[in-house]
Structure 1
């Protein structure tokens, strides 16, 4: 395989964060007397930067969105962060990548401090060479900026040997902006249409397929 560096999105790609994220969003909305129909209706918050989602789906200005994020973190920091689970087969994939000496990193829009806590919680620290996300002050939330930061930290200069893996259009667009290949994973929270329209190098439908692409292929 031509790749030497594998970048993973976190939410919807390595872990399934549905319960924790949707409950945290519900907490923030209800605290501010905003309507919540169901947790399922809040799944659209999984993946994109929270500020963008609050502004888009609840038609609030940036200041209000930042206030909602602070309320979101009241629940997420100690509870929601651990209402999360690894996708079946992910440990085997990461172990195989480690055994083959790939450089592996997390590139997420989630704040770095939370991403690192999650990686530690699941005992994955030794599988990743770097874990980078956004900043708590709301900067570096764009996925392209996150990917750029990871590549700089890892001193990656050969973009032809680097690939980004994620479940949302933001991951694929971030890869395009950094001129690297990408894999869209359809087992996460992006729709097939969303992934196809963002034009990844390839789409896979399961971690088994992802394993075959990265390890067998």
Structure 2
């Protein structure tokens, strides 16, 4: 097999969770008198919302940190359950796990939420390590999270590791650490992001990954 380790992004790759995430952010903005649509928020999923609320909506860092807790509360209480696994994901993870492939997650989503959803969908058993952000998303960018994940897994040959994502930041995070990277076409990346991300591979559905990982 070509790769012995696979590091996944979470939202838009493993879990179709956009509705709960978007509803939580719309509620957060609404508490401050800002009207936003769920559809527009869906397009923004990927980079940390704690940064987005400052950069796009003009909050100070202090105000943004306070406001984003409204989003966190909604997602933890309701949003984590307003989601589904993408079709074929469970079979993909089970197959890779049974083939002896080491699996991990490196997500910009708060770690508590990632772990909660992984347990809810009964896929946590497949992962050697799950990595995510703190509540205020201050643990660095995707490349930093991938690097930390590789360190925990004691990876000494990055050429045997594959990064899977649905946004350019995922692909860049893999490449910055010397990994080959796969862009999924079924996630939250738009066509412009997909075409411009310079991924090593592209897949249309989760099970397409098996040929890449297990191929010679």
Aligned-pair distance for 1:70? 1.0
Asked if the contact 2:3–2:214 (Cα under 8 Å) also holds between the matched residues in 1, the reply is: no
Q: Measure, in 2, the Cα distance between the counterparts of 1:85 and 1:127.
A: 17
1:2 corresponds to: 2
Partner of 1:153: 152
- Please list the CA deviations of residues 59-83 of structure 1 after superposition, one character each: whole Å capped at 9, or x if unmatched: 3332232222111112111111211
Residue of structure 1 equivalent to 2:30? 30
Task: List per-residue Cα deviations over 1:181-216 (Å, max 9, x = no partner).
Answer: 100001000123212322111111222322332345
Distance in 2 separating the partners of 1:117 and 1:43: 21
Q: Alignment RMSD, CA only?
A: 1.5
| TM-score between the two structures when normalised by the length of structure 1 | 0.94
Question: Is contact 1:25-1:42 (8 Å) kept?
Answer: yes
Q: Where does the alignment leave 5 or more consecutive residues of structure 2 unmatched?
A: none
Asked if structure 2 preserves the Cα contact closer than 8 Å seen for 1:182 and 1:202, the reply is yes
Residue 89 of structure 2 is aligned to residue 90 of structure 1: yes
For residue 6 of structure 2, give the secondary structure of its aligned residue in structure 1.
Answer: strand
Corresponding residue for residue 16 of structure 1:
16
Structure 1 alignment gaps of length 5 or more: none
Judge which range, 54-63 or 120-129, deviates more.
Answer: 54-63
**More contact order relative to length (CA 8 Å, sep ≥ 6):** 2
TM-score, normalised by the number of residues in structure 2: 0.94
Maintained 8 Å contact 1:106/1:131: yes
Structure 1 residues 104-143: aligned runs within 5 Å = 104-143=103-142
SS in 2 for 1:93: helix
Partners in 2 of 1:18 and 1:126 — Cα distance? 23
Tell me what 1:212 maps to. 211
